[in-house]
Amino acid sequence: MIRPLTGTARIGLRYQFAYRSDVLMAVLALVAQVFLLRMVWTAVYGERQQAQGLTLEALLAYLTLANLQAFAITPIITRIAHFRIRTGMVFFDLSRPTGYLPQLAAFQAGHTLGGLLLMAPAVPVVLLVGSITPTAQPLGYAATLILGYVISMMMSLLICMIGFWTLETGAISLLYRLISQFFAGTMVPLSFFPGALGAFAQALPFQYMGYVPAAVYVGRLTGPDVLQAVLVELAWIAALTALLWLVWRRAHRRVVINGG
């Protein structure tokens, strides 16, 4: 079973390289976005030394990382699944012995690797624009980021399975992306969210896709807070695994093959 999934991952990697111009344009947009965020937040801070416990330098580093992470882990499998379900090609996916969800996960992993390889030349520029310095917690950052990536992929798999009921997930995927990026803190750190909105954001898994790893990197979360974040991420992964299993048991019975 490992070899077929490895092959699927290679397909995801090649898919990424097949559209290099799109990725390069997205990287340019990422650099521009980080630069604009730097200008906006520099103006917002003005003469203040810090806000919500973050200096301007730490905030810029946080926002740069959060957007880099969002670029790297933003899933494509929702688009792939949407196309294959609508056209009926999902029949071939379901007939393979490796399982539908592992296929999607492997494809996404390969696609992410391809995106990282293409993005690598631009990373120094982004880091320079975002004023990022090395972190004092590399292991904590790596752990929270990897687990956050797993959570992001599992959430995307749930969106993919909605297509077995609706046959159309384009609008749902767009709405999910907007909500997830907002509550991941890619534009505004969650520590800036007021009252009930902040409490609501802390209760969602989206923070682990952006805010938590970046906050660990810049030192906003340290020591016991990092350990607690890792444990909560593991709990979310366990809960999402159970939910995926339950939804999949019903979803594959809803398959409609267009044209026959």
- Please give the mean pLDDT across all residues of the chain: 82
Backbone phi and psi for residue 55, each to the nearest 5 degrees, phi listed first? -75, 165
Length of the chain: 260
The answer for residues whose C-beta is within 8 angstroms of residue 125's C-beta and 6 or more apart is 31
Cα–Cα distance for residue pair 152/233, rounded to 1 Å = 11
Cα–Cα distance for residue pair 170/165, rounded to 1 Å = 13
Q: Residue 259's pLDDT band (boundaries 50, 70, 90)?
A: very low
With CA atoms as reference, report the closest residue to 135 among 231, 233, 220, 234: 220
- Residue 184 tokens read as 């991941």
Domain boundaries defined on the chain: 2-254
- pLDDT at position 254 is 65
- pLDDT at position 260 is 42
- pLDDT at position 255 is 63
Cα–Cα distance for residue pair 141/10, rounded to 1 Å = 27
pLDDT in tens, 67-113: 888 877 778 888 888 888 777 787 777 777 788 888 898 888 888 88
CA diameter of the chain: 66
pLDDT in tens, 27-81: 777 778 878 888 888 888 877 877 777 788 888 888 888 888 887 777 888 888 8
Secondary structure (3-state) at 213: helix
Q: Which residue has the tokens 């959060």?
A: 66
- Residue 61 tokens read as 């580093």
Could you tell me if 216 and 229 are in contact, meaning their C-beta atoms sit under 8 angstroms apart? yes
- pLDDT at position 111 is 83
- Does the pLDDT of residue 131 top 70, yes or no? no
- Does the pLDDT of residue 124 top 60, yes or no? yes
Q: Residue 154's pLDDT band (boundaries 50, 70, 90)?
A: very high
Q: Which residues are bridge partners to 51 per DSSP?
A: 54
Secondary structure (3-state) at 50: strand
- pLDDT at position 186 is 84
The C-alpha angle with vertex 225 and arms to 220 and 229, in degrees rounded to 5, equals 105
pLDDT in tens, 217-244: 888 888 899 999 999 999 999 999 999 9
Could you tell me if 175 and 40 are in contact, meaning their C-beta atoms sit under 8 angstroms apart? no
First to last CA, the chain: 29
